[in-house]
Amino acid sequence: MEAELLPDGKIGCYSPMAELLGKVVVQITANLQDYSTSMSYFEYTESMSVLAVVPTMAPRQGGSTITVMGLNFINGSEYGFHCRFHNTVVEAKYINSTHAKCITPPLKYAEKLPSSGFLVSVSVSNSDPRDDQGFTSDDLYFQYYDQVVLASVTPKAISSEESSTVTVKGNGFFATVEALKCCYGDIMVPGEFISPTNIVCHTPDSLPSGLLFLDVTLNGLLQDRSKSGIQLSVYDTPSINFISPS
């Protein structure tokens, strides 16, 4: 194979196809007669592939931890392990041959996103992150969305011991969200999409009395909940001990 002298003094070349997996000796020559004698090896392995990401969506601001699942993930190269979102590369944490974790980068798109979000391709690599050919190409996509903004909740007070529902008004809700959850402090319960400006939140079976903040997450992750929480009052359920006169 022809080689190319790189600016940093190293030599680069493309690896030829191989019929068998395993290590092969790599040598260099300047005249096709005299070859280097150092024993350097290159290993052929099964191709890595990405099958899924969880969650499948996150806010455009970045900073969300996602799990990438696939096949034949290999760690241990000098370049480490990386995820790529469209053309933005971030370091990944290798877990095992089928799982890795990475933190989403901010979306490089200044305009307001479509109501259904914005899709970018996701791939992984354990070779030089500057080499496009080293990344997987499985046509898997990740969805960015504008963070929801909450405006109001009705009713503004709920019982601490009785499960009910509240209606939340705001902006940024959409029907295809992965896991719409309502966050009462750190307690998450399911929510129901009604319209781009309205959702219904179920309340937990029990809550401590007092004031708390209600937030919403579209991907089921507490860390990605809205940061514009609205106050909700939680009261102890009243009871009647006696009536006078009876």
pLDDT of 85 = 96
Which of 137, 146, 47, 147 is CA-nearest to residue 84? 137
Q: By percentage, how much of the chain surpasses pLDDT 90?
A: 50
Using an 8 Å Cβ cutoff, are 59 and 144 in contact? Answer: yes
Residue with the larger pLDDT of the pair 157 and 23:
157
Is pLDDT above 70 for 50? Answer: yes
pLDDT of 160 = 83
Residue 162 CA neighbour count, 13 Å, CB half: 10
Residue 23 pairs with which residues in a beta bridge? 43
Is pLDDT above 80 for 237? Answer: no
* DSSP at 178: S
How many beta carbons lie within 10 A of that of residue 218, not counting itself?
30
Q: What is the mean pLDDT of residues 171-194?
A: 88
Is pLDDT above 90 for 100? Answer: yes
- The encoded tokens of residue 132 equal 């496009």
Q: What is the mean pLDDT of residues 106-110?
A: 81
pLDDT of 122 = 96
Residue with the larger pLDDT of the pair 194 and 174:
194
The enclosing H or E element of 224 equals none
Is pLDDT above 70 for 148? Answer: yes
Indicate the pTM of the whole model.
0.77
- The encoded tokens of residue 113 equal 């996103």
Q: What angle do CA 157, 161, 167 make, to 5 degrees?
A: 40
Please state which of the ranges 6-10, 69-73, 107-111 shows the lowest mean pLDDT.
107-111
Q: What is the mean pLDDT of residues 203-215?
A: 89
Residue with the larger pLDDT of the pair 229 and 200:
200
Residue 88 pairs with which residues in a beta bridge? 85
How many beta carbons lie within 10 A of that of residue 13, not counting itself?
11
Task: Please state, rounded to an integer, the average pLDDT across all residues of the chain.
Answer: 87
pLDDT of 244 = 67
Q: What is the mean pLDDT of residues 7-16?
A: 80
Residue with the larger pLDDT of the pair 114 and 29:
29
pLDDT of 25 = 81
